[in-house]
Amino acid sequence: MGVENVKTGAFILRFFQMICAIVVFATIVDYDGWSKINYTMFVGITAFVLAFAFMVLYFVGAQMARGIVSLVIDVLYVIFWLAAAGVMSSIVAQDQADSKIKSSCAFSWISWFLWIGSAIISFKDWRSGSPGPSPTGPAPTGQIPSSSISMV
């Protein structure tokens, strides 16, 4: 298992992304009928699911949780969170906001920064060719297995 992967910055960022996403959509779940609110709820709920899924993938050590797949999802959600934070800020600027909408707006901006951090980590993983923390198992040998030699 990947207990060593839990101690990485990527896992910790995903944990805080998950918490912020919960706060964002939980504070505005009672407001229905506004397209701006519905969009922010969509971003919050899907970001929660993705952050949780990435945490599970990090824990089990899945290679697909790092690199280009993670980078594409992170960049997409940087854009989604920027739009969500912008529309929440527009509601606050129009003096149509109570404390719940203001807190959702604040956590939307925090989420945007957290997803930028994940995008930077994913970009570095992708550029280095490293899929994340090094495996803890024995190093592979350069020898061809004897069963493969008999097939030649």
What whole-number percentage of the chain has pLDDT above 70? 80
Residue with tokens 């959600």: 77
Predicted local distance difference test score (pLDDT) of residue 42 = 96
Choose between 104 and 134: higher pLDDT: 104
Cα distances (Å, whole numbers) of residue 47 to 61, 80, 108, 112, 114: 21, 9, 11, 11, 11
Residue 132: which pLDDT band, with cuts at 50, 70 and 90? Answer: low
Confidence (pTM): 0.77
CB pairs under 8 A, 24+ apart, for 18-23?
Answer: 18/47, 18/48, 18/51, 18/52, 18/55, 20/107, 20/110, 20/111, 20/114, 21/45, 21/47, 21/48, 21/51, 21/111, 22/48, 23/103, 23/104, 23/107
67 pLDDT exceeds 90?
A: no
